[in-house]
A and B are shown apart, each in its own frame.
Chain A
Amino acid sequence: MSLFRIHAPILDDIRSDGLMPTLIAKTDEVVTRLTAGLNVEEIRSVLRGDPPKRPNPRVKPHADGFWMHMRPTYFHEKVMTLYPTFRLGWLSVYFLVFETITGLVLMLWYTPSPLTAFEDMQNIMSNVPLGLMMRDLHRLGAEFMVMVVLLHMLRTFITGSYKKPRQFTWFTGGVLLLLTLFLSFSGYLLPWDQLSLWAVTIGASMAEATPVIGREVNLLVRGGPDFGANGLLRFYLLHVFALPLIAFIFLGVHYYKVIIHGHSLPPKEEEIGVDTARKVPMEKRSYFLPDVLTKEIYWVVIWTALLILMVTVGNWHAPLEPHADSQVTPLHTTAPWYFLWLQGMLKLGDKVFWGVVAPGILVNFVFVLPYLEVGPSRRYIHRRVGLSVCAISIIVFSWLTYMGTPYHAVSSSPDQEVVAALVPQTHPGPVRTASYDELVPGEYSSDKWNSAPTDNLREIMETFDHEINKYGNELPGAVGIMNIVDWQVGLKKVTLSVVWNNGEDTFTQNVYVHEDSKHGH
């Protein structure tokens, strides 16, 4: 019988102390183990906002727990305010995690093949509960992540936080910035629509400009002379595997360096050339539990709410254009916004110099900046040159970005431009987004836009008239004609013509509009 006799100490406890006290003591023990050192009473005291006891029991999880061990026990109170960090580093991590979670959901519904990728997108948007929201959040998060990481770098430069001893932290941050850009860029191709194919084609064409091995680099990136099944698979694997893996590794290194050196204090808090971030006096300490954690949770909640509200109430949606078609080049193709400056530089001249050499020098300059600029003072007053260069760079980059857009130095025929303003190839435009019922069959002329029978028609024809007038010299005596006919039940054929030179020259394009198509939604 002794084989079946079990010894449960809790039964002894219950026998000696009673049921409730034993359960309470056990619960306390479990909680203390889960939190790596905080018992129930201490957690309640944290939540109440009580000052810590001496010695502070709230530092124990930092010593014993895996997650908390990665976080510092306390911050300097001067870095707890919005300035000087603006929480941009924390937000960068937040977006990396946010993108990973939403990305994993999307991965369930996506196959990286030109045969199915676009249909998968439509399926995610029309057949997966919360699929549209996940896709919108993922795309919006990506845009914010690029912005936040860029701003984080800018802030680090402005406060001089890249200076000794944080040179290598800056370097790993530079790597993370590049990884962020390429993570976003590699995701651009995956929907396999016209927008993605051509934006990425523009980007990848720069690889072709690499001296000597341009052809090989191009083949390596695209998996062939043009983007196809191989290129899509490569970008997918980069996007979901290689780049995130490297990003998480560098995030680890970057964050380790941040903790090792401490958060740099606002420049005026320190003696020149002295770094006191690690020596925080007792009275200036702001403990992780609860102050830092509360603020971090607060920002996570605020940003998550903001993103969700933008894609629901704010009606922000990730674009999905027609299926990718390598035979049909849209009139204006642009790189993603964060690479527009590169596209702008390419318009300056030689493809090899402006597309590869100049950006290469620039990126490398950013990496080695802290090793070149070794002035000891972080104070703004002592860094007039550096800050001026920074300000000028921002202006130059903004101008280059503008130059990268189709508004600058892109020559195409004005007649096509006019029609493309009404029925663009890379977004819906005014004709497709007009109310179906207001597209009354008939023929309308741009010079008599005001006599069109419905509001939408008047708006379209006024835009038509406005666009034509922009090219008054190139299109003498031009008039725009829009002809709408019922083509099928629920489908209208819209013919847009520009007629100029007394009717000698015409340009005509047909589009079809379906009553259910919901463009721009």
Chain B
Amino acid sequence: MTWRTVVGTLATFVTTIVVAFWLINEPARMKEAEDGFAGRSMEAGAAIYENNCTRCHGPAGGGLVGLAPAINNPALFDGSRLAEVGWAGSLHDFVYSTISGGRPLASSGTTWPQRMPTWSTEYGGPLRHDQVRDVTAFVLNWGRAYEEGITALQNPETATTSMEPIDAVGIDINTPELPPGNPDDGEALTVSLGCTACHIQTEVGPAWLAENHPDGTGIGTRSGERIDAADYTGAATTAEQYLRESIVRTNDYVVEGYEPGIMVATYGETLTAQNLSDIISYLITLK
């Protein structure tokens, strides 16, 4: 019995000491655990952002021309954007509520053509509130690059960091006069805007490339021929004008065999004159 008493007393003593030390260290441990969960929240938020947000806001938050503004954006983190929209709450609440409820109205000073959808399940979106919080944590973490002056992780795409709306080209096929286009930029735009989804891979819209079209001619050749066709209902007089009309006034003339109203009809509001010119200059080369 004696050795049991000794071992038991010793065990009690050791355990008490260990718990006492644990207790002394508890505030530091709790802080570390809290930071850990905040870190994991950003990890989760980054993955959710990748799956849901990149299509409009770009993979690195740089925004996409004609679609959605940059959120990896100094104006968001220095308070100027909050002041601009007259937001009285915190930046966290601004971002959290924007993600949760979307933007049913264009926010102050902008005329982005598309409205941001709701994301939180509370508003009928797909994300749980903890997921919205994760994305918020991830978005806010972009601010550290500006706070700490780490230029390598700031948004490199200065062209789209503006929260200002783009100077849209409109739906008139004569004005404004288009600047000279760059076919390479135009080709890139047809990919990023998703044109190729319907005009190359599937039969939803007429194929651009000669080898994919039953006539054996490319869109560049056909656009010159269409304006002289008997059933042509549009107002274009040149191949370039025909392409411009087809992009910004999609239902003025629909090629026989295709349905009107299928093609997105808002390109006049989402493309700049330069974007439009680039795309036309690319399409015209597809003979």
Per-position 1/0 for A476-508, Cβ under 8 A of B: 000000000011111101000000000000000
B35: min CB distance to chain A, Å: 4
User: What are the interface flags for B134-147 relative to A under an 8 Å C-beta threshold, 1 for contact and 0 otherwise?
Assistant: 00001001101100
B144 touches A488 (CB 8 A): yes
A27 within 8 A of B: no
Q: At the interface, is chain A mostly helix, strand, loop or mixed?
A: mixed
Q: Do A489 and B36 form a contact, CB below 8 Å, given A298-B4, A309-B18?
A: no
A residues in contact with B23, CB < 8 Å: 129-130
State the majority secondary structure of interface residues on B: helix
Q: CA–CA, A519 to B7, complex, Å? A: 36
| B-side contacts of A130, CB under 8 Å | 22-23, 26
Closest to B141 in A: A488
Asked if A516 contacts B35 (CB within 8 A), the reply is yes
Say yes or no for A440: interface residue by CB 8 A criterion.
no
CB neighbours (8 Å) of B150 from chain A are 489
Interface flag for B43 (CB, 8 Å): yes
1/0 contact string of B10-30 vs chain A (CB within 8 Å): 011011001100110010011
From known contacts A489-B141, A515-B39, infer whether A115 and B129 are also in contact, taking CB-CB under 8 Å: yes
Is A521 part of the contact surface with B, judged by Cβ < 8 Å?
yes
**Given contact pairs A308-B15, A493-B46, A519-B40, A132 touches B33 in the complex (Cβ within 8 A):** yes
Q: In whole Å, how far is B84's beta carbon from the nearest beta carbon of chain A? A: 24
| A517:B33 contact, CB within 8 angstroms | no
Contact status B39-A518, CB under 8 Å? yes
Residue in A closest to B148 when the chains form the complex, CB atoms: A489
Does A514 sit within 8 A of B, measured CB to CB? yes
B33 touches A125 (CB 8 A): yes
Q: Chain B's nearest CB lies how many Å from the CB of A384?
A: 37
Q: How many residues of chain A have a CB within 8 Å of chain B? A: 47
Contact in complex: A486, B153 (CB < 8 Å): yes
> In the docked arrangement, what's the CA distance between A126 and B281, Å?
59
A322 touches B33 (CB 8 A): no
Known contacts A305-B12, A308-B15, A517 near B36 by CB under 8 Å: yes
Task: Identify the 10 closest CB pairs spanning chains A and B, nearest first.
Answer: A514-B39, A517-B39, A518-B36, A516-B39, A126-B33, A489-B144, A512-B46, A305-B11, A516-B35, A126-B34
B interface residue numbers (CB < 8 A to A):
1-2, 4-5, 7-8, 11-12, 14-15, 18-19, 22-23, 26, 29-30, 32-40, 42-44, 46-47, 50, 60, 128-131, 138, 141-142, 144-145, 148, 150, 152-153
Query: Which A residues fall within an 8 A CB radius of B?
Result: 49, 115, 118-119, 122, 125-130, 132-133, 290-291, 294-295, 297-298, 301-302, 304-305, 308-309, 312-313, 322-323, 486-491, 493, 510-519, 521
**Besides A122-B37, A127-B30, A129-B23, 12 other CB < 8 A contacts?**
A130-B23, A301-B12, A305-B12, A322-B44, A323-B44, A488-B144, A488-B153, A490-B39, A512-B43, A512-B47, A516-B35, A516-B36
A-B contact pairs, 25 of them (CB 8 A): A132-B33, A133-B22, A297-B8, A302-B11, A305-B11, A305-B14, A308-B18, A309-B18, A312-B22, A322-B44, A323-B131, A487-B153, A488-B46, A488-B144, A489-B141, A489-B144, A489-B148, A490-B39, A491-B42, A493-B46, A510-B50, A512-B46, A514-B42, A521-B32, A521-B36
